[in-house]
Amino acid sequence: MRLSALLSAARPRLPPGYRHGMWPPDSMAARLRNPPGQRRRKVFVEPVAKDDWKVFKGDTVQVLAGKDAGKQGLVTQVVQARNWVVVEGLNTHCRYVNRTAKYSGTYITSEAPLLLSQICLVDPEDRKPTEVEWRYTEEGERVRVSLRSGRILPVPPQPRQDGIVPEQWIGEWDGSEGWGDVAGDTGGQHCPLTCTDGPKDTSEEDALAKTYRPSLKTFEEEIMDAMGIVETRRPKKSYWY
Amino acid sequence: MGLLTQLVRGLVRGADRVSPFTSKRGSRSHNKGRGAKKLGVLTRNKKFILVKEMVPEFVVPDLTGFKLRPYVSYRAPEGSEPPVTAKQLFDQVVAPRIEKDVKDGTFDPSNLEKYGFEPTQEGKLFQLFPKNYVR
């Protein structure tokens, strides 16, 4: 699993006409909707520099326009390429999923993305919408500062790219225990193989154990002593200028 | 994948001219190596004499009961320790010995070899300067 994660992290560049959606770029849906050689009409997006991006996953934002104008919600997804922000439970519409020939499908509510111009960050104490700017603190840390009140908006802790939550990671897991405790504990990962240590994983205690004994011998000399290798030959002297 | 998009778009036609020409391509008489080093000497009679010292030998210790494994659990926190400096090594290894000898009264400034002092690097297999080992 980790090797595929490494390979996907080193993914190639997206083609220039790629149409971004709410899906991750290396998923089945992306491949279906962006077959190689497809050329679609270009989507024009207000250019925002990567350093200037202010809205992150886990932020509270207020919706300014649309059906749910005036309501606040948590950001669940951000698509920088299209200036999109998906807020949980707001700007929703209902649709059918998992339709088959016989079954009409499950009717679910799904959120539509909102543009940056329809969104406003919210002051953490006031809980009122504010304009936000990137500024530097006395220590030199780059933080988001609300222009109205001057309070710092801390960036919420971002989830890992591979979706693993280290707090929910289980250490050694025997196959003998049932799946009941695993499925309830972890959020997205249900199979214990994807959220437990495998046979090639060092446990946390072993990894943090300090076993270094300082000595004046070099690494090679210590190994020769340990293995009982005796080397009396010496290399011939050579000179370089 | 990128090559396929180019082909489909019709910008580049023909064979792939960019991929490296390895020993897997070409005719069967095209003999090409993969960059292995020669382990000996080719004499004037075209006989190859193997030099045993050039043949790499893996020195592997017995790993029974060894707790460290190739990967680390996600639970272990990130971070690293600062590298050991010469001063720290001296303070941990040599300074206690010198202090003990000074307290016993047996400290001899002209005999520092017993604390690990090396006046020259001549005659040593692994010389520290100029460094003649890889690690």
Residue A72 β-bridge partners? A62
pLDDT of A100-135, one tens digit each? 999 999 999 999 999 999 999 999 899 999 999 999
Summarize the confidence of residues B121-125 as an average pLDDT: 92
Contacts of B133 in chain A (CB under 8 A): 218, 220
Q: Is residue B99 part of a domain?
A: yes
Within a domain: B41: no
| B1 confidence band (pLDDT: 50, 70, 90) | low
Please indicate whether residue A4 or residue A205 has the higher confidence score (pLDDT). Answer: A205
Residue numbers in B near A220 (CB within 8 A): 126, 133, 135
Q: Report the residue of B51, B53, B74 to disrupt the A interface, i.e. the one with the largest count of A CBs within 10 Å.
A: B74
Is B110 a domain residue?
Answer: yes
- For residue B74, being part of any structural domain is answered with no
Say if B46 falls within a structural domain.
no
pLDDT averaged over every residue in chain B = 89
* Banded pLDDT at A92 (limits 50, 70, 90): very high
CA A92 to chain centre: 24
Label residue B12 by pLDDT band (50, 70, 90).
low
Nearest by CB to A234, from B59, B92, B123: name it: B123
Q: Which residues of B93-114 are buried (b: 16+ CB within 10 A; e: fewer)?
A: ebeeeeeeeeeeeeeeeeeeee
Q: What is the mean pLDDT of residues A148-171?
A: 90
Mark yes or no for CB contact A227/B61 under 8 Å.
Answer: yes
Residue A236 has pLDDT above 80, yes or no: yes
In a domain, B31, yes or no: no
Q: B105 is in which domain, residue-wise?
A: 85-134
Interface contact B59-A235, CB threshold 8 A: no
- Give the whole-angstrom CA distance, residue A109 versus residue A102: 22
Of residues B31 and A180, more confidently modeled? B31
Chain B nearest C-alpha distance from A125 (Å): 31
Residue B106 has pLDDT above 70, yes or no: yes
pLDDT per position as a tens digit, A69-89: 999 999 999 999 999 999 999
Rounded to whole angstroms, the Cα distance separating A151 from B96 reads 53
Number of domains in chain B: 1
Q: Quick check: A218 contacting B, CB < 8 Å?
A: yes
pLDDT for A7 equals 60
pTM of the predicted protein model: 0.69
Distance CA A198, CA A193 (A): 7
Confidence of residue A91 (pLDDT cuts 50, 70, 90): very high
Distance between CA B58 and CA B51 in Å, rounded? 16
* B108-122 confidence digits (pLDDT tens): 999 999 999 999 999
**Residue with tokens 């000996």, as numbered in its chain:** B40
Residues in chain B within 8 Å Cβ distance of A221? 125-126
How far is B117 from B97, CA to CA, in rounded Å?
A: 13
Check residue B16 and give its pLDDT.
Answer: 83
ipTM for the complex shown: 0.77
Q: Which domains does chain A have, with CATH numbers?
A: 47-125 (2.30.30.30)
pLDDT of residue A162 exceeding 80: yes
Tell which wins on pLDDT, A7 or B27: B27
Residue B30 domain flag: no
C-beta of residue A134 within 8 angstroms of C-beta of residue A121: no
Give residue A1's pLDDT. 46
Counting one residue from chain A and one from chain B, the pairs whose CB atoms sit within 8 A come to 81
Tell me if B129 is assigned to some domain.
yes
Q: Which tens digit of pLDDT belongs to each residue from A33-45?
A: 999 889 999 999 9
| pLDDT, position B135 | 77
Tell me which chain A residue has its CA closest to the CA of residue B84.
Answer: A214
